[in-house]
Chains A and B, each alone.
Chain A
């Protein structure tokens, strides 16, 4: 005689696990995971733990007061989150920013891109068990922070790019320091390639892991490094040039495989291009004023604008609605991390548990950036 067991293998073998929000590798963010043994069945991102209401705060402050708090969501990439805001307000006010300020905005934005990418690659390295690269990245990143400090005056949150130009001019010695840093960094990049990207252990952990196809990337709204690693050549610096990018020569690196390795390597290749851009910009920068006199409470004519730029993680855009008062009527911030977050459950499908941190970090998500 056989006894029918009440054990239901289909339902009971699925285990629901929460990754985060206190997990040191997930940031202030949770992913709900449904696991079948060692494999992922379904996942659901659960953001919101660091939501600060930046958009509501923006409605209470005037256009200049908004500058310092708007860079808080991405302190790693603080110039790039302010750039589209400044471009948007400039467009609403119909003001022409002086050419020297355009170059300074470009230099600062590229320096920030390098700072952000180095942090990303360092963290990705530590999650695949490569502890050398995080030491190297964190150490070398400081030289770029030093360079940015000479221009912006602060080490992390510069509040440098403001409506009407940039906050202050760059001191003369920053050019020399910048060119030196570029030369040194070019040599360093070759070493990263050898120790990290061509490392068999790193290749084993990341190649073919978390594949995102080009058509899915477009459909799911991916942007930035995630999009370009899947073979879609889209970079606003080239497709819709702003600031000084039109005068400078650079490539848009694209890879075809769309796996975690490609997402990391695209960021690496982008750093090379950023060095090229900074070097050219430092040599070409014209003299002149760096900001327009707007006063502490500029009046912005009524209107609506959608401004976007290529930040370190992808397309950063603002939808600013002005009703003619000194404060924005509506300030919608659209960050690249939120766009790439929608991709995460898709590329996590059927992943191995051990691959979850690799896939998650290869996307270069930043929880505070999508929460705002």
Chain B
């Protein structure tokens, strides 16, 4: 399911409170360099609603590569914390409202493009 960036907060609130999607699995980023877009995908499941354990919804949003700013969903799902931090450092996507966007895995003095962007080429390639 792809939603516009402006609506993701309301949609995620509705998923959590209205439909019972309370267990965030992971946050993934995809660099669609040909379309000049980043995609951020939240995978959310439900544990409290019986019969929904085998169901995962993917909540995606797309932002232009030149200005990648999306709202952070940490206050909806706390579990998004480290996943959003990782997506931030690996793609350079800015999660607005995230309490701490410092580097999680990369060295503090990383001085190059975010490494999972398609235009970053690993040394020796």
Residues of chain A whose beta carbon lies under 8 Å from any beta carbon of chain B: 47-48, 51, 53, 55-57, 60, 218-221, 227, 232, 234, 236, 239-240, 306, 308, 315, 317, 319, 321, 329-330, 332, 334, 338-339, 341-342, 371
Check if B103 is an interface residue, CB within 8 A of chain A: yes
Please indicate the chain B residues that have their CB under 8 angstroms from the CB of A332 in the complex. Answer: 26, 28-29
Q: How far is the CA of A47 from the CA of B48 in the complex (A)?
A: 30
Beyond A53-B122, A341-B82, whether A48 also contacts B107 by CB under 8 A is yes
- Interface hub of B23, B30, B54, B90 (most chain A Cβ within 10 A): B23
Q: Are B116 and A306 in contact (CB under 8 A)?
A: no
Please indicate the chain B residues that have their CB under 8 angstroms from the CB of A308 in the complex. Answer: 25, 56
**CB contact between B23 and one of A47, A221, A240, A321 (< 8 Å): that residue:** A221
Q: How far is the CA of A317 from the CA of B79 in the complex (A)?
A: 15
**CB contact between B22 and one of A53, A57, A218, A321 (< 8 Å): that residue:** A218
Q: Are A319 and B53 in contact (CB under 8 A)?
A: no
Check if B78 is an interface residue, CB within 8 A of chain A: yes
Beyond A219-B22, A221-B23, whether A338 also contacts B82 by CB under 8 A is yes
Please indicate the chain B residues that have their CB under 8 angstroms from the CB of A57 in the complex. Answer: 122
A-B contact count (CB 8 A): 81
Q: Are A48 and B23 in contact (CB under 8 A)?
A: no
Q: Are A51 and B79 in contact (CB under 8 A)?
A: no
Q: How far is the CA of A371 from the CA of B48 in the complex (A)?
A: 29
Interface of A is mostly: mixed
Q: Are A240 and B54 in contact (CB under 8 A)?
A: yes
Please indicate the chain B residues that have their CB under 8 angstroms from the CB of A218 in the complex. Answer: 22-23, 47-48
Please indicate the chain B residues that have their CB under 8 angstroms from the CB of A221 in the complex. Answer: 23-25, 77-79
A248 to chain B, nearest CB (A): 17
Check if B106 is an interface residue, CB within 8 A of chain A: yes
Residues of chain B whose beta carbon lies under 8 Å from any beta carbon of chain A: 22-26, 28-31, 41, 43, 47-48, 53-54, 56, 58, 77-79, 81-83, 90, 103-107, 115-116, 122, 125
A344 to chain B, nearest CB (A): 10
Q: How far is the CA of A53 from the CA of B105 in the complex (A)?
A: 10
Please indicate the chain B residues that have their CB under 8 angstroms from the CB of A55 in the complex. Answer: 90, 116
5 more A-B residue pairs beyond the given contacts A60-B125, A330-B28, with a C-beta to C-beta distance below 8 A: A53-B122, A57-B122, A218-B23, A239-B53, A319-B28
- Interface hub of B43, B48, B79 (most chain A Cβ within 10 A): B79
Q: How far is the CA of A219 from the CA of B23 in the complex (A)?
A: 6
- Interface hub of B58, B82, B103 (most chain A Cβ within 10 A): B82
Please indicate the chain A residues that have their CB under 8 angstroms from the CB of B58 in the complex. Answer: 306
Q: Are A232 and B25 in contact (CB under 8 A)?
A: no
Please indicate the chain A residues that have their CB under 8 angstroms from the CB of B23 in the complex. Answer: 218, 221
Q: Are A342 and B81 in contact (CB under 8 A)?
A: yes
Q: Are A219 and B78 in contact (CB under 8 A)?
A: yes
B43 to chain A, nearest CB (A): 6
- Interface hub of A219, A221, A232, A239 (most chain B Cβ within 10 A): A221
Q: How far is the CA of A308 from the CA of B90 in the complex (A)?
A: 22
Q: Are A339 and B28 in contact (CB under 8 A)?
A: no
Q: How far is the CA of A329 from the CA of B107 in the complex (A)?
A: 25
Please indicate the chain B residues that have their CB under 8 angstroms from the CB of A240 in the complex. Answer: 53-54
A300 to chain B, nearest CB (A): 16
Q: How far is the CA of A51 from the CA of B104 in the complex (A)?
A: 10
Chain B: which residue is nearest A219 at the CB level? B78
Chain B: which residue is nearest A319 at the CB level? B28
Q: Are B105 and A48 in contact (CB under 8 A)?
A: yes
Q: How far is the CA of A165 from the CA of B22 in the complex (A)?
A: 34
Q: Are A51 and B30 in contact (CB under 8 A)?
A: no
